[in-house]
Amino acid sequence: MAAFGRMLLYVACVVVMLSKMAAAASSAKPNCPNWCGNVEIPYPFGTTENCYLNDNYFINCSNSQPLWENHFVTNISIQGELEISMFIARQCFRDSSGVPVVDNNKHSLTSRTFTISNTKNQFVAVGCDTYAYLNAYRNNEYFRIGCMSICQSLRNVVNASCSGIGCCHVDIPTGLKNFTLEVHSYNNHTNVSKFNPCSSAFMIKQDYESKFSSAYLEEILLKPNDTFPMVLDWAIGNETCETGRRKPDYVCGQNSACYDSKNGDGYRCKCNKGYEGNPYLHEGCQDINECLQVPKPCHAKAKCMNTHGSFSCTCREDYKGDGKMNGTGCSPKVSHFKIIIIALIAISIGLMVLFVGGSSLYCGLKRRKLFKLKEKFFQQNGGLLLQQKLSNDRTSMQAVKIFSIGELEKATNNYDESRVLGQGSYGTVYKGVLQDNKLVAIKKSKFCDQNQIEQFINEVIVLSQINHRNVVKLLGCCLETEVPSLVYEFITNGTLSNHIHDKVLSSSLSWEKRLKIAIDTAGALAYMHFSTSMPIIHRDVKPANILLNDNYSAKVSDFGASRLVPLDQTQLLTLVQGTLGYLDPEYFHSSQLTEKSDVYSFGVVVAELLTGRKAISFDGLEIDRNLAMYFSSAVKEDRLRQILVDDLVSDGNIYEINKVANLVKRCLSVKGEDRPTMKDMAMELDGLRSMEKHQSGKAYLCTEETDYCVTAPAVHYFNIGVNDGCSSTSTSTTVGYKISMRTQVSKPLDDDR
| Residues designated catalytic | 540
- Which x/- pattern over 148-187 shows residues binding ligand NAG (rule: CB under 6 A)? -----------x------------------x-x------x
C-beta of residue 345 within 8 angstroms of C-beta of residue 325: no
- Please give the residues from 323 up to 382 whose contact with ligand NAG meets the rule CB under 6 A: 325-326
Binds ligand NAG (CB under 6 A): choice among 20, 50, 194, 224: 224
Among 214, 521, 562, 594, binds ligand NAG (CB under 6 A): 214
Which residue's CB is nearer to ligand NAG, number 177 or number 389?
177
Q: How far is it, in rounded angstroms, from Cα 284 to Cα 328?
A: 34
Supply the DSSP symbol for 704: T
**Computed from CA positions of residues 189, 192, 193, 196, in that sequence, does the dihedral angle turn out positive or negative?**
negative
* In the complex, least distance from residue 227 CB atom to ligand NAG, rounded to whole angstroms: 9
Among 17, 24, 64, 137, binds ligand NAG (CB under 6 A): 137
Rg for the chain (alpha carbons), in Å? 37
736 binds ligand NAG, rule: CB under 6 A: no
CB of 148 to ligand NAG, least distance (A): 15
In the complex, the smallest distance separating the C-beta of residue 81 from ligand NAG, rounded to whole angstroms, is 6
- What is the identity of the amino acid at 741? M
Q: In angstroms, give the least distance from the CB of 386 to ligand NAG.
A: 25
Instruction: Choose the binding region for ligand NAG from 62-70, 496-504, 577-585, 616-624 (rule: CB under 6 A).
Output: 62-70
Q: Does 703 bind ligand NAG (CB under 6 A)?
A: no
SS3 429: strand
Question: What distance in Å separates the CA atoms of residue 182 and residue 91, rounded to the nearest whole number?
Answer: 10
Q: Among residues 214 and 746, whose Cβ is nearest to ligand NAG?
A: 214
> 3-state DSSP call for residue 275?
strand
Q: Is 247 annotated as a binding residue?
A: no
Q: At what angle are helices 9-23 and 453-465 packed, to 10 degrees?
A: 80
Single out the segment in contact with ligand NAG by CB under 6 A; choices: 6-14, 60-68, 517-525, 664-672.
60-68
CB of 260 to ligand NAG, least distance (A): 14
- In the bound state with ligand NAG, the residue whose beta carbon lies nearer, of 159 and 551, is 159
SS3 category, 638 = coil
238 contributes a contact to ligand NAG by CB under 6 A:
yes
Which of these segments, 117-125, 207-215, 444-452, 460-468, binds ligand NAG (CB under 6 A)? Answer: 207-215
Question: Is the CB of 127 or the CB of 603 nearer to ligand NAG?
Answer: 127
Residue 286, amino acid? Q
Measure the CA–CA gap between 167 and 147, rounded to whole angstroms: 9
d(CA 466, CA 219): 57
- Please state at what angle helix 511-530 crosses helix 595-611, rounded to 10 degrees: 170
229 binds ligand NAG (CB under 6 A): no
Q: How far is the CB of 78 from ligand NAG (least distance, A)?
A: 8
At residue 738's C-alpha, the angle toward residues 737 and 742, to 5°, is: 130
Distance of CA 93 to the CA centre of its chain: 53
Q: Are 618 and 611 in contact (CB under 8 A)?
A: no
In Å, what is the CA distance from 737 to each residue of 68, 559, 673, 688? 68, 39, 31, 11
The answer to whether 625 and 617 are in contact (CB under 8 A) is: yes
**Beta carbons of 592 and 575 less than 8 angstroms apart:** no
Looking at the Cβ atoms of 295 and 721, the one nearer to ligand NAG is 295
CB 225, min distance to ligand NAG, A: 4
H helices of 488-582, in order, are: 496-501, 503-507, 511-530
- Cβ proximity to ligand NAG: between 137 and 143 the closer is 137
String of DSSP letters for 30-63: TTS--EETTEE--TT-BSSTTSSSSGGGB-B-TT
Q: Check residue 50 for interaction with ligand NAG (CB under 6 A).
A: no
DSSP H or E segment with residue 740: strand 737-742
Contact window for ligand NAG (CB under 6 A) among 73-81, 280-288, 333-341, 730-738: 73-81
Q: Assess contact for 241 and 235: CB atoms under 8 A.
A: no
Which one among 225, 289, 392, 395 touches ligand NAG, defined by CB under 6 A? 225
Quick check: 87 binds ligand NAG (CB under 6 A)? yes
CA–CA dist 685, 708 (Å, integer)? 14
- The footprint of ligand NAG on residues 89-128 (CB under 6 A) is 98-99, 108, 110
Nearest CB to ligand NAG, comparing residues 87 and 600: 87
Contact 21, 445 (CB under 8 A): no
191 binds ligand NAG (CB under 6 A): yes
Which CB, 11 or 128, lies closer to ligand NAG? 128
Rounded to whole angstroms, the Cα distance separating 389 from 594 reads 29
Whole-angstrom distance, CA of residue 37 vs CA of residue 18? 20
Among 64, 77, 156, 404, binds ligand NAG (CB under 6 A): 77
Q: CB-wise, 298 or 712, nearer to ligand NAG?
A: 298
Instruction: State which residue, 4 or 43, has the beta carbon closest to ligand NAG.
Output: 43
Q: Is 641 helix (H, G, I), strand (E, B) or coil?
A: helix
- Selected from 31, 50, 140, 703, the binder of ligand NAG by CB under 6 A is 140
Chain position whose Cβ is nearest to ligand NAG: 98
* Rounded least distance, CB 228 to ligand NAG, Å: 14
Binding piece for ligand NAG, criterion CB under 6 A, among 209-217, 345-353, 408-416, 505-513: 209-217
19, 34, 48, 60: which one binds ligand NAG (CB under 6 A) = 60
61-69, 200-208, 718-726, 731-739 -> range binding ligand NAG (CB under 6 A): 61-69
# residues near ligand NAG by CB under 6 A = 30
Listed as own residue / partner, the contacts of 639-644 with beta carbons closer than 8 Å and 24 or more positions apart are 643/610, 643/611, 643/613, 644/610, 644/611
Q: Which residue in 19, 34, 48, 75 binds ligand NAG (CB under 6 A)?
A: 75
Q: Alpha-carbon torsion 323, 326, 328, 333, what sign? A: positive
706 counts as binding ligand NAG under rule CB under 6 A: no
Question: In the 8-state DSSP scheme, what is residue 575?
Answer: -
Task: Indicate whether 215 belongs to the interface with ligand NAG (CB under 6 A).
Answer: yes
| Structural contact between residues 626 and 616, judged by C-beta atoms closer than 8 angstroms | yes
Binding mask 294-323 for ligand NAG (x = CB under 6 A): ---x--------------------------
**23-32, long-range: CB within 8 Å, 24+ apart, which pairs?**
23/392, 25/277, 25/278, 25/284, 25/286, 27/78, 27/277, 27/278, 27/281, 27/284, 29/281
**The only residue of 48, 153, 174, 190 in contact with ligand NAG, by rule CB under 6 A:** 190
Kind of pairing between the strands at 474-478 and 401-403: parallel
Closer CB to ligand NAG, 293 or 391, in the complex: 293
Cite the annotated binding site for ATP by residue number.
444
Give me the residues that bind ligand NAG (CB under 6 A), please. Answer: 60, 62-63, 67, 75, 77, 81, 87, 98-99, 108, 110, 137, 140, 159, 178, 180, 187-188, 190-191, 213-215, 224-225, 238, 297, 325-326
* Binding annotation: 444
